[in-house]
């Protein structure tokens, strides 16, 4: 398993991580089998969020109950969680207030049965954010030893810059949606300045990938197998026959399952992107992990881009 630096920290993390969004309904044995498979593949990075699992902190609770980690076992994991999304009567809203960030972290720590988070991410952007409040929350969490590193999720360069004006700690990660078929943050640059081509439109407010590379912010790719925004996976989908034909051919060449090629397309990028797996199937975790070390050639990488329907001028 290849490892990459996490932002400007002294941490090196696997470039494939396990997202635990869907484990709330699994029994103890299933959770342990999933995590054991990930660990056997070299994945020791676990991605949580307070809203994962139906009820608040549901997936965090399942992880803690099933694993029952001792302090020494806890040290062998990198635990990341998120805060900022709230729901009332089925309506989502966002809250980056000092009180909400701090109380969410404290609830996550209690639920996870740990004294600290390795990384806290601010979940989807809060349009009503007060950067000085975020800074105060980060300072409190860092000084009390409850959070060691801080990042964001689904943030544009401008939104990160606004935070950086007040926040003293480095922003070390930005978790964004990315897959071969959902790649505007990468493919827009391929079609820049092409009139009348939708792919050339700037959808990320200024180049998320380039910005994060310039500022040593690790990109984390969520939904790496989703065709669009929770529209189903592209692997094996009849809607993507050309792409799957290329994936299958490359899988045969490298002697890996197709899911590994989908991961390898992301990890091949020189930005050192970390893939967040959301599957609860151990076999898929093991297969996806094989993509970590596959050295796709430039021509293979671009062939996948074109087969996904993007323009390579």
Of 171, 67, 165, the closest CA to residue 121 belongs to 171
H helices present in the chain, as ranges: 28-40, 58-67, 71-74, 98-112, 131-143, 157-164, 184-187, 208-214, 241-254, 258-267, 282-289, 298-307
Token digits for 64? Answer: 């803690």
Does residue 75 surpass a pLDDT of 90?
Answer: yes
Please give the DSSP secondary-structure letter assigned to residue 149.
E
Mean pLDDT of 136-162: 97
Query: CA of 202: how far to CAs of 98, 127, 229, in Å?
Result: 32, 20, 18
For 222-258, write each residue's pLDDT tens digit.
Answer: 999 999 777 899 999 999 999 999 999 999 999 999 9
User: For position 231, what pLDDT does the model report?
Assistant: 80
User: For position 24, what pLDDT does the model report?
Assistant: 96
pLDDT tier at 59, thresholds 50, 70, 90: very high
Please give, one letter per residue, the 3-state secondary structure of 61-129: HHHHHHHCCCHHHHCCCEEEEEECEEEECCEEEECCCHHHHHHHHHHHHHHHCCCCEEEEEECCCCCCC
H helices present in 180-240, as ranges: 184-187, 208-214
Distance CA 191, CA 173 (A): 26
Whether 52 is catalytic: yes
Residue 188 Cα to chain centre, angstroms: 20
Mean pLDDT of 151-171: 97
Token digits for 123? Answer: 């979940």
Residue 195 CB partners (closer than 8 Å, separation 6+): none
pLDDT tier at 203, thresholds 50, 70, 90: low
Distance CA 42, CA 15 (A): 10
User: For position 189, what pLDDT does the model report?
Assistant: 77
Of all residues in the chain, what percent carry a pLDDT higher than 70? 95
Strands 16-19 and 45-47: parallel
Of all residues in the chain, what percent carry a pLDDT higher than 90? 89
Does residue 197 surpass a pLDDT of 70?
Answer: no
Q: What does pLDDT average to over the chain?
A: 94
User: Among 52, 211, 254, 310, which one carries the catalytic annotation?
Assistant: 52
Does residue 160 surpass a pLDDT of 90?
Answer: yes
For 85-127, write each residue's pLDDT tens digit.
Answer: 999 888 899 999 999 999 999 999 999 999 999 999 999 999 9
Does residue 76 surpass a pLDDT of 80?
Answer: yes
For 33-51, write each residue's pLDDT tens digit.
Answer: 999 999 999 999 999 999 9
Mean pLDDT of 177-202: 78
């Amino acid at each position: 398993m290849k490892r990459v630096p996490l932002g400007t920290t002294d941490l090196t993390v696997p470039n494939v991580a396990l997202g635990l969004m869907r484990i709330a309904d699994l029994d103890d044995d299933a959770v342990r089998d999933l995590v054991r498979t990930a660990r056997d593949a070299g994945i020791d990075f676990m991605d949580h969020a307070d809203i994962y699992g139906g009820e608040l902190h549901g997936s965090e609770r399942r992880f803690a109950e099933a694993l029952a980690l001792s302090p020494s076992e806890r040290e062998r994991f990198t635990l990341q969680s998120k805060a900022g999304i709230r729901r009332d009567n089925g309506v989502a809203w966002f809250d980056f207030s000092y009180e909400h960030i701090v109380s969410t972290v404290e609830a996550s720590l209690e639920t996870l049965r740990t004294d600290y988070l390795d990384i806290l991410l601010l979940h989807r952007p809060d349009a009503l954010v007060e950067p000085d409040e975020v800074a105060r929350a980060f300072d409190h969490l860092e000084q009390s030893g409850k959070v060691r590193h801080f990042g964001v999720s689904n943030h544009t360069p401008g939104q990160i810059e606004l935070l950086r004006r007040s926040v003293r700690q480095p922003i070390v990660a930005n978790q964004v949606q990315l897959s071969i078929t959902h790649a505007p943050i990468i493919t827009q640059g391929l079609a820049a300045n092409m009139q009348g081509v939708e792919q050339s439109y700037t959808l990320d407010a200024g180049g998320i990938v380039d910005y994060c590379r310039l500022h040593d912010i690790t990109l984390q790719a969520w939904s790496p197998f989703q065709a669009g925004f929770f529209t189903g996976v592209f692997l094996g989908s009849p809607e993507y026959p050309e792409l799957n034909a290329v994936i299958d051919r490359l899988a045969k060449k490298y002697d890996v399952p197709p899911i590994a090629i989908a991961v390898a397309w992301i990890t091949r990028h020189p930005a050192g992107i970390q893939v967040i797996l959301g599957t609860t199937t151990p076999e898929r975790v093991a297969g996806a992990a094989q993509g970590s070390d596959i050295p796709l050639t430039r021509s293979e990488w671009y062939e996948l881009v074109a087969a996904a329907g993007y323009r390579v001028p």
